[in-house]
A = this chain, B = another copy of it.
Amino acid sequence: MEVSLKRAAEILAKANNIIVTGHIYPDGDSLGSILALSEALASFNKKVQMYIDDDIPLVYHFLKGAENVQKPEGKVQADLLVVLDASDDERIGKVKSITDAPILNIDHHISNIKFADYWYLDTKAAATGEIIMALLNIMHAKITPDIAAALYTAIATDCGFFRYANTTANTMTQAARLIEHGAKPNIIAETLETKPLNTILALKEVLDSLEFYDDGKVATITLLPELIEATSTTEGFINYPRNIEGVEVAVMFKVVEEGSVRISMRSKEVDVSKIALQFGGGGHKRAAGCTMPGDIKAVKDQLLSAIHRHVNSGQMRFEQ
């Protein structure tokens, strides 16, 4: 059943023993939202347990309470399961099976499949953290500095530190309020931007793999299995081809294992979600991806031909 945010607050108010979870491969938004809502609920004397069926990336360990997030095991007593920032119950892994409590889902993903008993979905929010901010307001919860830091992390990471198209005036206004409540924008940015040396060294090789097609309108990087193993993360690598002057479409080919290539695309104008869809993937207009079987050479040829057609048809409209 779809519920208003006010109704969601009432459902939370009635429950006493609450499990809060989010998606696997936790990111700043899911984790920050979980930590913020859990601290707020605990301040109303609720019993709150946080579960994520995955490891918490090191980079988020600075958030207060991250150390209390548990991995699901066995059965857990609860009268409500709150699922944040996950569009599908498959995305919460084994947390699904630790309780039979009714599910309240709060999310901002357009792909949400409305799997929960109660759901609140705001696809205009840049982050689930923005919705939690509004929810805490309705609940009259005190925004402590720790909650502020968690929500600021949630919002800032999901809108690329205010650089993505989902950044709205409301995103900025909420960030302003969180700073007033003690979030330190520079400390959070600095902490999240810290990278292991292995990632910086991998970047050198990534730049060595740069290739250009279609008169420099398409730029690619290629990551072979060795390199992927040597770096803690490949996040952000695609920004290098993407940010080069004249590049319309940037592609990262990741050969995770021989015979299978994961592809990420970023574009300025071309709708790359159409290209991804063609190969069984998906995404947004300007950021999409897919996984293709075959060796890297064959996959490259196939994908670059598909991109070539889009880049060229896009061009023609302007040239005539």
Contact = CB atoms under 8 A, between A and B. Distances in A.
Nearest to A164: B186
Q: How large is the interface on A (under 10, 10 to 19, 20 to 34, 35 or more residues)?
A: 35 or more
A268 B190 contact: yes
A26 B200 CA distance: 31
A97 interface: no
B161 A161 contact: yes
B196 A245 contact: yes
A243 B195 contact: yes
A38 interface: no
A296 to B, nearest CB: 22
A62 to B, nearest CB: 13
Interface stretch (A13-21, A173-181, A297-305): A173-181
A239 B189 CA distance: 12
A4 to B, nearest CB: 25
A202 to B, nearest CB: 10
Nearest to A232: B245
Interface in A173-207: 173, 175-177, 179-180, 185-186, 189-190, 193-197, 200-201, 203-204, 207
Contact of A203 (B164, B207, B245): B207
A227 to B, nearest CB: 14
A162 B175 contact: yes
A169 B177 contact: yes
Contacts of A194: 243-245
A167 interface: yes
Contacts of A245: 194-197
A194 B243 CA distance: 4
Interface of A: 156, 160-165, 167-173, 175-177, 179-180, 185-186, 189-190, 193-197, 200-201, 203-204, 207-208, 210, 216, 239-240, 243-246, 268
Given A169-B180, A196-B244, 19 more contacts: A161-B161, A163-B186, A163-B189, A165-B186, A167-B179, A167-B186, A168-B179, A169-B177, A172-B172, A172-B176, A172-B179, A190-B268, A194-B243, A195-B244, A197-B216, A197-B245, A204-B204, A204-B207, A204-B208
